[in-house]
């Protein structure tokens, strides 16, 4: 694949810039024609440059995913295990709140680009370490697992979406409650210690990280 022609490259950049905005505002299911129009480009040009929605999503959100991965790394650098863990949780929720598209990507099992999956997978490894460290320090409940974090991401994404218009900060309270629940306490044991569950693709990855293995089936269907 050689370099694009000058105008083509310009258009590509314009599409990408607009896509970032639109996905952030409207989520990953925004009409592609909106993006093309706002970029001052025909719909065909968008399709030529990004043949599938996933390609466009991947290109547009790569930096945001990198922020997610970076947050995990920074959290590991925090000396206090609980502070690192709690800060990480708040940080990724913050990222989610700033970018509805990222929320979709983190919470729903959208078909994602290989590059993004790789980034996410390594990040997940660090997250597991973060979790184990916090558990070992006695501040995070023993039965906590990575999947619980995914549940939280799903939940906060929904809370944000529903309350965005009326109470845009409601999710902060929700996340604070969740962190309270995650903190160690003499609580009744949770149902279904989910050693075997596997939900979204991201969760399958998480599980794989932790050595559970799992059929990462394809889903070749479109739409």
Partner DNA sequence: CAGGTTCCGGAGGGACGCCTCCAGATCGTC
Partner DNA sequence: GACGATCTGGAGGCGTCCCTCCGGAACCTG
| Rounded least distance, CB 121 to a copy of itself, Å | 18
Query: Does position 7 bind DNA by CB under 7 A?
Result: yes
Looking at the Cβ atoms of 70 and 111, the one nearer to DNA is: 111
Within 8 A by CB and 6+ apart from 131, the residues are 85, 140, 144, 145, 146, 149
8 A C-beta contact, residue 124 and residue 146: yes
Residue 107 as a binder of a copy of itself (CB under 8 A): the answer is yes
Q: For residues 219 and 162, give the distance between their C-alpha atoms in angstroms, rounded to a whole number.
A: 28
> Interaction with a copy of itself in 26-65: which residues (CB under 8 A)?
none
Which residues neighbour 151 within 8 Å (Cβ) at sequence distance 6 or greater? none
Which of 19, 45, 141, 202 binds DNA (CB under 7 A)? It is 45
Q: Which of 15, 58, 105, 159 binds a copy of itself (CB under 8 A)?
A: 159
> Residue 186 Cβ, how far from a copy of itself at the closest point, in Å?
10
Residues 197-216 that bind a copy of itself (CB under 8 A): 197-200, 203
Evaluate whether 96 touches 157 at the Cβ level (below 8 Å): yes
Please state, in angstroms and rounded to a whole number, the distance separating the CA atoms of residues 223 and 219.
10
For 120, the token pair is 């996410």
Binding segment toward a copy of itself, per CB under 8 A, in 1-9, 32-40, 115-123, 143-151:
143-151
| Two structure tokens written together for 190 | 């949770």
Q: Which residue ranges make up the site for DNA (CB under 7 A)?
A: 4-8, 11, 29, 31-33, 40-45, 47-49, 51-53, 222-223
């Amino acid at each position: 694949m050689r370099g694009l022609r000058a105008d083509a490259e310009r258009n590509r950049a314009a599409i990408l810039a607009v896509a970032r905005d639109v996905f952030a505002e409207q989520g990953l299911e925004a009409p592609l024609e909106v993006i093309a129009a706002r970029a001052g480009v025909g719909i065909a040009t968008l399709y030529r440059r990004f043949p599938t929605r996933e390609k466009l999503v991947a290109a547009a959100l790569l930096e945001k995913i990198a922020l997610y991965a970076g947050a995990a790394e920074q959290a590991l650098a925090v000396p206090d295990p609980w502070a690192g863990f709690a800060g990480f949780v708040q940080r990724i929720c913050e990222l989610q709140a700033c970018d509805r598209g990222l929320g979709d990507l983190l919470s729903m099992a959208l078909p994602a680009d290989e590059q993004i999956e790789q980034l996410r997978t390594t990040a997940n490894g660090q997250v597991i370490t973060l979790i184990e460290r916090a558990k070992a320090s006695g501040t995070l409940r023993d039965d906590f697992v990575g999947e619980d974090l995914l549940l939280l991401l799903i939940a906060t994404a929904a809370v944000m979406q529903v309350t965005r218009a009326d109470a845009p900060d409601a999710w902060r309270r929700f996340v604070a409650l969740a962190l309270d629940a995650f903190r160690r306490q003499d609580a009744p044991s949770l149902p279904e210690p989910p050693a075997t569950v596997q939900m979204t693709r991201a969760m399958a990855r998480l599980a794989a990280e932790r050595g559970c293995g799992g059929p990462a089936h394809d889903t070749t269907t479109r739409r």
